[in-house]
Structure 1
């Protein structure tokens, strides 16, 4: 495991926002979805992934439960756009400063418009990437939203 604070952790520290750290082994390549929830011993509905999308030159960040899929129509509606597409993986580092599996909604290169799935609002704690593969941070949803100026919206595909 890597030691030391990430930029995301330093931002929360500076704002005096409490958080828990969950580390997991990612050597087996399982760095996504419910595998992360299993590895940190948290229910999948409390572990969230950070997805970056764009509409033309505009970048948007969506934070949804790891076991769910982003509904691009709902995402576009939340962002006030006609259409939204996922940011190509090759562009993730350039726009966010993060790599796949370590993309945190906190501490990106810029503060992009950010939307958190409304299912997080009722949780006491939600886990998101701490900005490094193998490290998640648990934080109160409203405090996370306040930190990144996020709003809660319905974002996931319904079965």
Structure 2
């Protein structure tokens, strides 16, 4: 897999991957602000199975922020996320808190290169794919990499998180 494809551009995510020596490929598409789902828009625009495109969700777990990464074709199981983090209560984080801690805007939050590295859990379904897609740090910009490379770049653990 090449490191950069045409139309990429540097983001904190790509800078972090370059520094870590992680192989990845970039994919850009024209973002439609009217589309109801950032993740499904990416899957459609890139012609990729939605089960292979993963969304980055910032959660509040017992008052601490963390990241869950699940396929765009599924939902995050908050109880499973709580179990994976050893937390009693988990809910989606306030958008402003998520943006402030990660340094990214909603719809473009990447699990990689966050301003404050958050504990990260990757849905185990990712391990079934040779490569997966995650946000590259802005709307209309995706990164393709192996699940192992994502784990390396984020220190993520895996668990069954989707429903």
TM-score by length of 1: 0.92
Q: CA deviation at 1:3?
A: 5.8
Q: CA deviation at 1:91?
A: 2.1
2:129 is matched with 123
Q: CA deviation at 1:148?
A: 0.7
Mean alpha-carbon deviation: is it higher for 29-38 or for 138-147? 29-38
Provide the aligned C-alpha RMSD in A. 1.4
Q: CA deviation at 1:123?
A: 1.1
Unaligned runs of 5+ in 2: 1-6
Runs of 4+ in 1 over 2 A off after TM superposition: 27-31
1:148 is matched with 154
2:21 is matched with 16
Q: How does 1:1-159 map to 2 (within 5 A)?
A: 4-30=9-35, 32-157=38-163
Q: CA deviation at 1:29?
A: 2.9
In structure 1, what is the Cα distance between the partners aligned to 2:154 and 2:74? 22
In structure 1, what is the Cα distance between the partners aligned to 2:26 and 2:142? 6
Are 2:123 and 2:159, in contact at CA under 8 Å, matched by a contact in 1? yes
In structure 2, what is the Cα distance between the partners aligned to 1:3 and 1:142? 22
In structure 2, what is the Cα distance between the partners aligned to 1:145 and 1:110? 17
Q: How many aligned residue pairs are there? A: 156
Unaligned runs of 5+ in 1: none
Deviation string, structure 1 residues 66-96 (Cα, Å, up to 9, x no partner)? 1110000000000000110100123221121
